[in-house]
Amino acid sequence: MFKETIMFEDILRFAQPALIWILGATLFVFVATQVIISVMKRSNVESKTIGYVKWVRNILLLLLIIAFVWQLGVALSINAVDRSVIDRDGIDFSRYPTATPFK
């Protein structure tokens, strides 16, 4: 009779906590590589090795930026979906100002 479908909103709500964990883990590893680079410079490690660690750091920085923008996009998408006036069944509640969507 009533078929439950997976909505885009549900996918976003499921993905948001995972994105927060990815963002946090990437930030942690990025800070760790910064500390490793600092220690290597003080310990007079050859510059070629430091260069490799800097490559890793730069890749992590890129991933961090991508994860942050993705997280921001998901948060804004959820906010936009929550503010929509169309119910899951396609009923436009903006035409009926006193009506509220059933949840």
- Print pLDDT tens along the chain (103 aa): 445 555 666 666 666 777 778 788 888 888 888 888 888 888 888 888 888 888 988 888 888 888 778 777 776 766 555 555 555 555 555 555 555 555 5
Single pTM value for the model: 0.53
Residue 41's pLDDT is: 85
What are the DSSP calls for 34-56, one per residue? Answer: HHHHHHHHHTT--HHHHHHHHHH
Would you state the structure tokens that stand for residue 3, as one six-digit string? 């078929």
Best CA proximity match to 53, nearest among 65, 64, 45, 42: 45
Domain positions in the chain: 15-79
Residue 2's pLDDT is: 46
**C-beta atoms surrounding 48 within 10 Å:** 7
Residue 98's pLDDT is: 54
Residue 1's pLDDT is: 43
Residue 64's pLDDT is: 82
The gap between the terminal CA atoms of the chain, to the nearest Å, is 18
